[in-house]
Amino acid sequence: MEWCIIVDVNFVFGGILEMSYKLAIIGFGGMGNYHFDQIKERIPEIEVVGVFDVRQERLDYAKESGLKAYTSVDELIADKEVQIVLISTPNDFHAPLSIKCMRGGKNVVCEKPVTMNAPELEEVLKVSKETGKVFVVHQNRRWDKDYVIIKNILDNKLLGRAFYVENRVQGSKRSLEGWRGFKLNGGGMVYDWGIHLIDQTMWLIKSPVVDVQGHLARMFSTEVDDNFKAFLKFEDGTSALIEVSTNCFIPQARWHMMCEDGTAIVEDWECNGKMVRLSDDRDLGWEDQIVYTVAGPTRTMAPRPRETTEELSLPEVKSDWADYYKNVIAAIEGREELIVKPAESLRVMKVVDAIFESDKTGHSVACHI
Ligand SMILES: NC(=O)c1ccc[n+]([C@@H]2O[C@H](COP(=O)([O-])OP(=O)(O)OC[C@H]3O[C@@H](n4cnc5c(N)ncnc54)[C@H](O)[C@@H]3O)[C@@H](O)[C@H]2O)c1
């Protein structure tokens, strides 16, 4: 009789064995460094092992940080231990590098904006399908607390259906740093912050976009938009205003959302704000109320009697950016679908294309995205 000994490796190593994924970074500037620090601190399942950057000083810094410094993308791809590549270069390199890395057998996490336009992304997604490699965009702003609050209000119908959402970020720095000022590199605010706000809005309102208007301004940049507003109309009747300013000296609320039964406001990234909900819809003496402005009366804009509404705190929410990478790993292992789905990224890029087209033609773009 033959004996066979079955060894439980989890038991031998005293617990659940966790696979450690090796990740390499292409483009080790501000954001590449952020990923490196955050992964080291917060994602034990991933180890950053190496870096490629076109600047020698960043390669030197990588070495000082205990990382391999590859001298080319080919050398990085040839490193068999690397399973995931993070691409955090200026935007115009995202598509060619993603394609090269996936063809080289790597899964890819790509910074936003994923590509310069939708057709380019379609090419990238084709390669992901062909190679079977996971390709995902780092739309990290889906985990920002201000957004999670707004999504919570809508998903849980705390104020009923939204009909108008304003999603904006406003600053007054009046400058775009480095490559962000160049058209060739995919600079400008539509690509930079706009893409986050568009992605957030389209993940919030689950309906096709049927009309897009873009109003871009070049206040101090000679090549790219440094301020913009975009209006999206959705098939279900919801409208959204998306705004990014770098020349605004009196900022408005981060979010203002009007719903059937109330209004929500999130003032800032600290998530100050409130909801006001209709509590009594009966006609409580509105008839006699008229407001007189300097030049005339208005009945429509008379203030609502206070007792007919209630003021509520914003909902408490939990959000952890680490869940982004945990989901990427689960997708690589085939355990979960990606949270940031490639098809969603493609819809976002199509809206970006429509914003540029609308600005160029001066007309809104009818669509079904
Ligand atoms: N998701 C977010 O919250 C967030 C925030 C900031 C930036 N980003 C994105 O990250 C990317 C990088 O932005 P950043 O602020 O780190 O810019 P950065 O200029 O600080 O860093 C870019 C780095 O890429 C290197 N580089 C340039 N061309 C390269 C190439 N062909 N191959 C290899 N390296 C190259 C540069 O030398 C530099 O070190 C952009 O796509 C940007 O939109 C995302």
Ligand 1: residue whose CA is nearest its atom 43? 112
The reply to whether ligand 1 has any atom less than 6 angstroms from the CB of 138 is yes
pTM score, two decimals?
A: 0.94
Q: What is the pLDDT of residue 16?
A: 41
C-alpha closest to that of 74 among 21, 138, 26: 26
Q: CA 307 to CA 278: how far, in whole Å?
A: 9
Atom of ligand 1 nearest to the CA of 179: 19
- 185 Cβ closer than 6 Å to some ligand 1 atom: no
* 86 alpha carbon – ligand 1 mean position (Å): 11
Nearest alpha carbon to residue 212 among 223, 193, 228, 225: 228
188 lines ligand 1 (CB under 6 A): no
pLDDT value for 284: 65
Task: Phi first, then psi: give them for residue 345, nearest 5 degrees.
Answer: -65, -35
Give pLDDT, residue 299.
87
* Ligand 1 atom showing the smallest separation from residue 52 Cα: 33
Q: Rounded to the nearest whole angstrom, what is the distance from the C-alpha of residue 257 to the centroid of ligand 1? A: 33
* Dist. CA 182 → ligand 1 center (Å): 13
Pairing of strands 68-69, 84-87: unpaired
Instruction: Summarize pLDDT for 170-196 with one digit per residue, the tens.
Output: 999 999 999 999 999 999 999 999 999
Q: Is 91 in the pocket of ligand 1 (CB under 6 A)?
A: yes
Interstrand relation of 135-137 and 107-110 (parallel, antiparallel or unpaired) = parallel
Q: Check if 29 has its Cβ closer than 6 Å to any atom of ligand 1.
A: yes
pLDDT-derived band at 8, boundaries 50, 70, 90? very low
Quote the pLDDT of residue 19.
63
- Give the ligand 1 atom nearest the CA of 139: 1
> What confidence score (pLDDT) does residue 120 get?
98
Question: 262's torsion region: left (phi>0), alpha (psi -120 to 50) or beta?
Answer: left
Residue with the smallest CA separation from ligand 1 atom 19 is 29
Nearest-CA residue for atom 18 of ligand 1: 29
DSSP 52-92: E-SSHHHHHHHHHTT-EE-SSHHHHHH-TT--EEEE-S-GG
pLDDT of 159 > 90? The answer is: yes
Q: What are 51's strand-pairing partners?
A: 25, 69
Element (H, E) at 277: strand 273-278
- Determine the Cα–Cα distance for residues 312 and 309; give it in Å rounded to an integer: 10
- Indicate whether 145 pLDDT > 80: yes
| CA atoms of 108 and 102, how far apart (whole Å) | 7
Q: Whose CA is nearest to atom 40 of ligand 1?
A: 90
CA 174 distance to own-chain centroid: 23
User: From CA 104, how far away is CA 77, in angstroms rounded?
Assistant: 6
CA 275 to chain centre: 24
Query: What angle (nearest 5°) sits at the alpha carbon of residue 305, between those of residues 288 and 312?
Result: 165
**Is there an atom of ligand 1 within 6 Å of 349 CB?**
no
Query: Which helix or strand (DSSP H or E) is residue 256 part of?
Result: strand 255-259
Q: Which three-class secondary structure state does DSSP give residue 135?
A: strand
Mutate to test the pocket of ligand 1, among 89, 184, 196 (most ligand atoms within 8 A of CB): 89
pLDDT value at position 280?
82
Residue 42's CB: how many other CB atoms inside 10 A? 13
Instruction: Decide whether any atom of ligand 1 lies within 6 Å of the 92 Cβ.
Output: no
Q: Cis omega before residue 113 (within 30°)?
A: yes
Residue 7 has pLDDT above 60, yes or no: no
Helices 94-103, 118-131: inter-axial angle, 10-degree rounding: 10
pLDDT digits (tens, 9 = 90+) for 86-129: 999 999 999 999 999 999 999 999 999 999 999 999 999 999 99
> Which atom of ligand 1 is least distant from the CA of 87?
11
- For the Cβ of 88 lying below 6 angstroms from any atom of ligand 1, the answer is yes
Task: Tell me the mean pLDDT in the region 284-296.
Answer: 82
49-87 burial: b if 16+ Cβ within 10 Å, else e: bbbbbeeeebbebbeeeebbbbeebeebbebeebbbbbb
Does the pLDDT at position 151 exceed 60? yes
What is the atom index within ligand 1 of the atom nearest the CA of 31?
Answer: 16
Centre of ligand 1 from the C-alpha of residue 251, in Å: 27
Instruction: Specify the pLDDT at position 5.
Output: 42
